[in-house]
């Protein structure tokens, strides 16, 4: 890892719901990964750069309105004008399975989440350990003339020839 890991925590809100039963679209995760790449590049080069694309995108479990998600990103490699960035997203708080079951949510009986019955609809469960909901590898480019060098000393690195 180059520099340090960037972490954003977000609660999924009603407008984030895209499908039936308040299921969140996987595109929300990719949008958050883009936000993380901007912060990483501002720290590493003083410029937001451009997220060129993703590789190895994986969606592991569904996310619903009211879930709390933690998004992680870190730089794996720096080339002359490009960075290889790793992204991961974790569900850290969720509603009990009986709440999901009553509303016909798709992951009501997922083995990764607790199956607790009898809790009130307002209950939230801390997922310990957090559940990996998705991951990706991204390529971010910062044009040579836009590179200002590390703005955060933790991101000072040597360049690898491309």
Q: What pLDDT does residue 106 have?
A: 46
Classify residue 9: in a domain, yes or no: yes
Classify residue 161: in a domain, yes or no: no
Classify residue 162: in a domain, yes or no: no
- Residues 71, 66: Cα–Cα separation, whole Å: 16
Q: What pLDDT does residue 2 have?
A: 86
User: In angstroms, how far is the first alpha carbon of the chain from the final one?
Assistant: 18
Classify residue 36: in a domain, yes or no: yes
Count structural domains, the chain.
Answer: 1
Q: Which domain holds residue 108?
A: 2-155
Distances (CA, A) of 58 to 30, 107, 132: 10, 17, 10
Q: What pLDDT does residue 108 have?
A: 46
CB 85 within 8 A of CB 40: yes
Classify residue 23: in a domain, yes or no: yes
Classify residue 109: in a domain, yes or no: yes
Classify residue 160: in a domain, yes or no: no
Q: What pLDDT does residue 124 have?
A: 82
In the predicted model, residues of the chain with pLDDT beneath 70 are 19-21, 97-121, 157-162
CATH number of the domain that residue 85 is part of: 3.10.129.10
> DSSP character for 158?
P
Classify residue 77: in a domain, yes or no: yes
Q: What pLDDT does residue 75 have?
A: 95
């Amino acid at each position: 890892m180059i520099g340090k890991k960037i972490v954003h925590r977000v609660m999924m809100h009603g407008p984030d719901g895209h499908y039936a039963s308040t299921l969140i679209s996987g595109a929300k995760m990719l949008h958050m990964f883009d936000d993380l790449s901007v912060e990483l590049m501002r720290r590493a080069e003083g410029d937001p750069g451009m997220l060129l694309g993703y590789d190895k995108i994986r969606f592991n479990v569904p996310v619903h309105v009211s879930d709390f998600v933690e998004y992680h990103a870190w730089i794996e490699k720096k080339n002359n004008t490009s960075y290889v960035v790793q992204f991961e997203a974790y569900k850290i708080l969720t509603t009990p399975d009986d709440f999901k079951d009553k509303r016909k949510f798709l992951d009501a009986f997922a083995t990764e989440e607790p199956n607790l019955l009898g809790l009130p609809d307002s209950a939230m469960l801390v997922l310990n350990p957090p559940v990996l909901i998705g991951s990706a590898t991204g390529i971010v480019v910062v044009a040579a003339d836009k590179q200002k060098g590390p703005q955060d000393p933790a991101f000072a690195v040597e360049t690898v020839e491309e």
